[in-house]
Amino acid sequence: MISTSQLLAELKEQKKGEQKKFNTNSPLAAYFGYNNNGQLRLSFLSTTKPPKLEPTKYINIVQGPDKTGAFWLCFDVLLPDQENVFGAFCENIVNSISYTVTEEQAYLAIRRQYAKWKALFRSSSGVVFSKEYVQGLFGELLFLSRFMIGKYGVERAIKSWSGVDGTSKDFSIETIWYELKTIGTKSPVVHISSISQLDSDNEGRLVINKVEAMSDEYDCADCCIKSLFNSISNQINDEELETIFAEKIASTNIFSNDKAVNMKFAVQSMTFYKVDNDFPRLTRRNVGFSEINNVQYSLSVESLKKYEVNPND
């Protein structure tokens, strides 16, 4: 199977109307390239009629028989400068049909993947992300994958992830909340960017992930945003929930930057700290003055040891 980086390199050599066949073990023939209008195209060829799929503002669907009686299903990207998202889309959707046995099974897999990926094509492209931002988003997805889904189930876990939607806490469910901080393995402090991050009348958890940036050649399970996205997506069996998860990811525009979604990290630890009235934090109450705004502070990681708790406490 071709990788995203290989696909992007080969797209540069293709012209309008040209498509190249994927080398994949699937009952469907798969192709990528450009349509006659110069728009990015992913297409599938079969002997059976594909399911009817609805186009979106950003993706047009072209399907029907050709002169030989074979059937085409084509996804045309209507936005310019979407090569990075398109490459990841192709890699993911073609992988989903690999080793399916029948054309019907393959089309079912495509339908599910399309429900998720159509949300990821946005008007923004070429966005530059700082390493700190990528590291932070990686940490949230890591926590979602390794802790929240196991404790609360995939649906409740995904719906509890609200930091990406702009709330002050990264996750909140039932009466508890979780605030994530992902730092380098040698970082002595964590930075709290606002009073509201650790301020609450309810008990919560500060979760500190320690990670190390790795080379592009590093290959470990769930070591980048793209692999975590795929891992979590594969656990979803509901089309509506797939769309909710994809919309959350799409709001970050992270898939517009291939380097960002493939940035590799090695995870050293994930540590939980109990945040209650005894925890060293600034709150609206102890700051005391309503005139004070935009409060930021740092916590020494070493000094927080006595507040460590078991993840399931």
- Give domain limits for the chain: 4-120, 131-309
CATH number for the domain running over 4-120: 3.30.1460
Nearest to 102 by CA among 46, 53, 42: 46
Mean pLDDT of the chain: 92
Q: Provide the b/e sequence for 173-184 (b: ≥16 CB within 10 Å).
A: beeebbbbbbbe
Output DSSP code: residue 266. Answer: E
Q: How many CB atoms lie within 10 A of CB 167?
A: 13
Give the pLDDT score at 100.
Answer: 92
Nearest to 97 by CA among 145, 42, 149: 42
pLDDT in tens, 247-300: 999 899 898 888 999 999 999 999 999 999 999 999 988 887 878 888 999 999
Q: Which helix (H) or strand (E) holds 171?
A: strand 171-173
Q: How far apart are CA 25 and CA 20, in angstroms?
A: 16
Q: How far apart are CA 74 and CA 55, in angstroms?
A: 11
Give the pLDDT score at 137.
Answer: 97
Look-up: residue for tokens 């609450």? 200
Q: How far apart are CA 189 and CA 295, in angstroms?
A: 16
Q: Which residue type, as a one-letter code, is found at position 187?
A: S
Considering the entire predicted model, what is its pTM? 0.83
Cα–Cα distance list, 133 to 129, 138, 140, 231, 250 (Å): 6, 9, 11, 21, 15
